[in-house]
Amino acid sequence: MRTEESRRLAEDLLRILVVAAAYYVTGRIGLMQEVVLQGATVTPLWLPTGIAVSCLLWWGPRIWPGIAIGAFFLVETITGFSLKPVDTVIVAANTLAPLCAWLLLRRVGFRVELDRLRDGVALVFLGGLLPMLLSSTVGVCVLAFTGNLAWSAFGPVWAAWWAGDTMGVLVGTPLLLVLRRARPPWDMSRWPEAAALAVTACVVVPVATRSPLALLFLVFPLLTWAALRFQLAGAAPCALLVSVLAISAANHRIGPFSDHSLFEVMVTLQALNGSAALTALLLAAIVTEQQSVKQKIEQAVRDLTEVVEHLAPRRNG
């Protein structure tokens, strides 16, 4: 009995360390694309929230210390390890927001397979939009109350913070959920199409995000193709590629993001990233659900056919 408890404790400790490391590393990567808005540091895509929500869905709430540890070291990295009391408040908010997302998703019976439209909608609203209000609101309020941010800048900074945390869930969580159960496609007939999709994505997305022409809309046929043919396994990586390259173009003020104010760039960027993530996630969930229903109907027909054949009177030879 003690051996079993020790093993579980060791597993939980290892998972906590993995979560903390993943949270910190992805946070450091996100800070490479940071934007200073009204004196506050924000990121258009904060992948640590996606890491946190995914790990909570896999392993449950016992790994929350890992989120707190990763958030603590990230906050202290930004502030220069000043160890201020307000940093503790921000860390607590960044830890509670994913926990709230997990609680809300569990309450509605969310399935990590993301094979139903209701799961996609739940992840958008209950996993991203709603719970991330907590981390963004608390974080910006702390900055304003401590004098590190002018109250006149509250709205833009809050919106950017909230959008970044939400995008981390909408882009990062589906990708991690699909990667965990990913298997090589043994149907060789689909490999040429998958290769064509990858090549097309590597051509279309850079052109759309860096061309001086208004070509951002080109990413949506690509996302539609990926979702219809490969569901979440194709749509999630494409949505991440769109988000990363769009953020890079926005930070360098090139393509459709040139000759605009910082606020206008942030609005355009978040509108694109949000629309791309929603298109990929919801369309993939719809297609997966329809395929599941089709398979159930086909199985029911086969079962019914077997029953009819079994009950049908046999003819005398």
pLDDT digits (tens, 9 = 90+) for 53-99: 999 999 999 999 999 999 999 888 877 666 677 888 899 999 999 99
CA triplet 59, 244, 42: central angle to 5 degrees? 80
Containing 137, the helix (H) or strand (E) segment is helix 132-145
| Contacts with 199 (C-beta within 8 Å, 6 or more apart), sequence order | none
Helix pair 85-107, 132-145: axis angle to 10 deg: 160
**Distance in angstroms (rounded) separating the CA atoms of residues 279 and 297:** 27
> What whole-number distance in Å separates Cα of residue 31 and Cα of residue 289?
37
Q: pLDDT digits over 196-226, tens only?
A: 999 999 999 999 999 888 888 999 999 999 9
Task: Give the chain's mean pLDDT.
Answer: 86
pLDDT in tens, 136-191: 999 889 888 887 788 888 888 888 889 889 999 999 999 898 887 766 665 677 78
User: What pTM did the predictor assign?
Assistant: 0.84
